[in-house]
Structure 1
Amino acid sequence: MMGPRQEAQPALFYEFSLEDHVPQDHLLRSIDRFVNLSRIRGHLAEFYSHTGRPSVDPELLIRMLLVGYCFGIRSERRLCEEVHLNLAYRWFCRLDLSDRVPDHSTFSKNRHGRFRESELLRHLFEVIVARCIAEGLFSGQRMAVDASLIEADANKQNSTPKEEWDAERIDPVDAPRAVREYLDTLDQAAFGAASEVRPKFTSHSDPASQWTAARKGPAFFSYSDNYLIDTDHGVIVDVEATRSIRQAEVGSTKTMLDRVKDRFGLHPERLIADTAYGTGPMLGWLVERKITPHIPVFDKSGRSDGTWTRADFEWDAENDQYICPEGHELKQFRRNYSDPNRGPTDKGTARYRVLKEVCQACPSKAKCCPNADARKITREEHEDARQVARDISKTDQYVISMRLRKKVEMLFAHLKRILGLGRLRLRGPSGANDEFLLASTAQNLRKLAKILPAPQQTRNA
């Protein structure tokens, strides 16, 4: 038999509890256990006026932003609608049914002002990292680093070729916020000073973003999201926004390693990365700081014509010379004085050569230098550190490290597919940094919730 039509029956009084309507296994219940924002008000105190109308509680704004990034809600306007309608979101944000949700414009006002001035989002990220340390989620011994391209909020139609772009002609007074930030970062190693090579195109709306075709597809404007993680559970230890070029990404590794040492006292025993980080200066920097580089060496000394490469020559450090497979010596100097034309070059390399008459009489000349009178080998300034990395690459621990490195790539896949951060919504270096910090904070909170879920409580009948 068909039941009666369901009609809403208005009542004068309701007995309703948000606590009873949020499922015990809801993700936000597990996350809420690790979100302690009690120190935020003290952190922001000096950035608020002592007079005037009371502001929106900053803890409420941060909780709403965490909801948005944990569940991939990219629009702040839509976030306000979702918090208004979703009971679990209201419970996490400490809003009762009758409490009013802040307007979406409140986020922009605070983000461009006191949040950035106080570096609140960096503070929030580090508070969650400290909680991960307290919960024993990583040892700090093995860390991995990598970068991923995130598309910027810019397009080619609103850009200028490098031949026509002149930053000195921009008036900072009338320029938009993102353009003023671009001018402020021209001398920073993570952006303008990372390379002297000018990008092919520069965006008018976000000139700090990099025109790149690194994905082997259509070029686009982007920023690089750099992660430093601990490989025990894949917790993000630090994050940095940079220009999307190799020099800036490699340079951010030094920044992040120095920062985690200063903030948390972490000094990894080894660092795991891909070939882009295997340059001589980077490997030398790591070896100097007693960090073992589990990194493939970035080496262009290989040959495709089948002749002997530099790896076929034995290095004799005691006598400062190379020994070829036939036993001949390649020396840098053969007299008691230094010949400036044969000494170190301006690029930090040294040349080693064999005597011409020895090379001409060698039976293996066709395998060594068929098109030259004598064989020459260059040795870079950080070749010792490069050799350290080559020796490590032959160990079983290195094989394990290469498998652990994939945890960084998995985090980037999670960032783009689950959290929806495939394209930035905010512009400028500060906007990219804000989004990367909030997204990595959300990823660490989800990691805590997955490994240490909230205990299930049985309801009373």
Structure 2
Amino acid sequence: MRGADITQEALFTTVHLESFVPKNHPLRSIRSLFNEALRRIDWLLCGAYSERGRESIPPERLLRAQLLQVLYTIRSERQLMEQMSYNLLFRWFVGLTVDDVVWNHSTFSKNRDRLLEHDVIPALFEEVVAIARKRNLLSEEHFSVDGTLIQAWASQKSFRPKDEDDSDSTGGGRNQEVDFHGEKRLNDTHESKTDPDARSFKKSKGSEAKLAYLGHTLMENRNGLMVKARTSLATGRGERDTAVDLLAELPGSRRKTIGADKNYDTREFVDSCRGMNVTPHVARNDKRRGGSAIDSRTSRHEGYAASMKVRKRIEEGFGWGKTVGLIRQIKVRGLARVNAVFNMTFIGWNLTRMVNLQGGSA
């Protein structure tokens, strides 16, 4: 007998969200690892909130929601809250029940800013790395470093002289005509009126200049996990200067190696590495004026050849961050906010890698 197409909901239900999530779903292991990292920064979260006043959105839920935004390529808080309202998997992951009211997107954004003020997400990134170290997933000797261009959330039309007032515009609405061809536009004399931290920058000769930031990661070579992640203003020295800072923060005093591409083949960077007891396995740039800073004493060893091969894996993380994650063109403005999104993106990368390395179990 044909069944009738009638929807009739029960008056009461006893089904729990837990029952909707398959036992082997990868988010179960990711959530377990992420919750472990959250517990390790509980002291920081307590210090970010007053003991008086109305209760805020629990910061743990805010952070789980931001992680979902990275893992599922959700472009805005408005879309995230829309998904949260009907996606049972998202509700379960964040910690909401079926009956909980989903936050307004503006409330979510305002509460997120409190975490930004206390550098919660960079601290959370460090705790995820500490968990990986505790589980013996990291190399403590061999690393690779690289940088990537992050396109800013600002138009080239907004890149105008610093002394120009908004009232100097000729009208035409939000998308007015601007002809800057033939005009010499430099970061020293111009700035973006919508994102002053963004810099006009091009990654290589012949490519177009874009308003951008630089993202930097330090990868351990055993499993391709990112042990450091940071953003900087887009300058010609940004990659090398930030790489030196990241290397200086590595724990331990034992000798290390660092693989890098030809952009890092400068006398200053190589000398800085050696001063920190780090052997620079940098790709030789023999066309550079004065020749390469790497001589045969370094490049003749098998370890150098191994670093040259493994260092390219760092591009996998950047590729994941720009296709799955949110860093191809960042949807926030200001260096601090960009850094928070960048760190959360590589928290997602590390957690995904850790779950895969451990066979899907936390």
Q: What's the TM-score once normalised by structure 2's chain length?
A: 0.86
| Alignment-derived partner of residue 201 in structure 2 | 212
CA distance in 1, matches of 2:288, 2:217: 30
| Alignment-derived partner of residue 49 in structure 1 | 50
| Alignment-derived partner of residue 21 in structure 2 | 22
Q: Where does 1:77-226 land on structure 2 (aligned, <5 Å)? A: 77-112=78-113, 114-160=114-160, 164-166=161-163, 198=187, 201-214=190-203, 216-226=206-216
Query: C-alpha displacement at 1:41, in angstroms?
Result: 4.1
Query: Structure 1, residues 305-352: CA drift from partner, whole Å, max 9, x if none?
Result: xxxxx77xxxxxxxxxxxxxxxxxxxxxxxxxxxxxxxxxxxxxxxxx
Alpha carbons 1:70, 1:419 under 8 Å: kept: yes
Aligned residue among 296, 299, 307 for 2:283: 296
Query: Structure 1, residues 204-247: CA drift from partner, whole Å, max 9, x if none?
Result: 11122121232543321111110001011110000111122331
Q: Secondary structure at the match of 2:80?
A: helix
| Alignment-derived partner of residue 320 in structure 2 | 414
Query: C-alpha displacement at 1:72, in angstroms?
Result: 1.3
CA distance in 2, matches of 1:267, 1:277: 22
Is 1:237 aligned with 2:210?
no
Deviates more, 1:207-216 or 1:413-422: 207-216
Query: C-alpha displacement at 1:79, in angstroms?
Result: 0.9
Alpha carbons 2:283, 2:308 under 8 Å: kept: no
CA distance in 1, matches of 2:82, 2:100: 13
CA 205–277 in structure 1, closer or farther in 2 if over 3 Å, else same: same
In structure 2, stretches of 5+ residues that fail to align are: 167-185
Q: Secondary structure at the match of 2:23?
A: coil
Q: Secondary structure at the match of 1:260?
A: coil
Is 1:431 aligned with 2:337?
yes
Is 1:73 aligned with 2:63?
no
| Alignment-derived partner of residue 274 in structure 1 | 261
CA distance in 1, matches of 2:286, 2:220: 27
CA distance in 2, matches of 1:72, 1:104: 17
| Alignment-derived partner of residue 306 in structure 2 | 400
Q: Secondary structure at the match of 1:33?
A: helix
| Alignment-derived partner of residue 370 in structure 1 | none
Q: Secondary structure at the match of 1:6?
A: coil
Is 1:391 aligned with 2:297?
yes
Q: What is the aligned-residue identity percentage?
A: 30
Q: Secondary structure at the match of 1:121?
A: helix
Query: C-alpha displacement at 1:290, in angstroms?
Result: 1.7
CA 301–158 in structure 1, closer or farther in 2 if over 3 Å, else same: closer
Query: Structure 1, residues 77-112: CA drift from partner, whole Å, max 9, x if none?
Result: 111121222222111112111122222223322333
CA distance in 2, matches of 1:301, 1:78: 48
| Alignment-derived partner of residue 260 in structure 1 | 250
Alpha carbons 2:255, 2:278 under 8 Å: kept: yes
CA distance in 2, matches of 1:157, 1:419: 27
CA 81–253 in structure 1, closer or farther in 2 if over 3 Å, else same: same
Q: Secondary structure at the match of 1:91?
A: helix
CA 152–431 in structure 1, closer or farther in 2 if over 3 Å, else same: same
CA distance in 1, matches of 2:358, 2:284: 38
What amino acid maps onto 1:287 in structure 2? R
Aligned residue among 243, 248, 262 for 2:238: 248
What amino acid maps onto 1:165 in structure 2? K
Is 1:440 aligned with 2:346?
yes
Alpha carbons 1:279, 1:297 under 8 Å: kept: no
CA 401–454 in structure 1, closer or farther in 2 if over 3 Å, else same: closer
Tell which structure's C-alpha radius of gyration is larger.
1
Matched positions, count: 340
Alpha carbons 2:187, 2:199 under 8 Å: kept: no
What amino acid maps onto 2:275 in structure 1? E
What amino acid maps onto 1:13 in structure 2? F
Q: CA RMSD in A?
A: 2.5
Alpha carbons 2:248, 2:276 under 8 Å: kept: no
Alpha carbons 1:296, 1:390 under 8 Å: kept: no
Alpha carbons 1:142, 1:231 under 8 Å: kept: yes
Alpha carbons 1:236, 1:444 under 8 Å: kept: yes
Query: Structure 1, residues 43-99: CA drift from partner, whole Å, max 9, x if none?
Result: 132332222211111111111111111221121111112122222211111211112
Query: Structure 1, residues 155-201: CA drift from partner, whole Å, max 9, x if none?
Result: 111121xxx4359x99xxxxxxxxxxxxxxxxxxxxxxxxxx84575
| Alignment-derived partner of residue 357 in structure 2 | 451
CA 267–115 in structure 1, closer or farther in 2 if over 3 Å, else same: farther
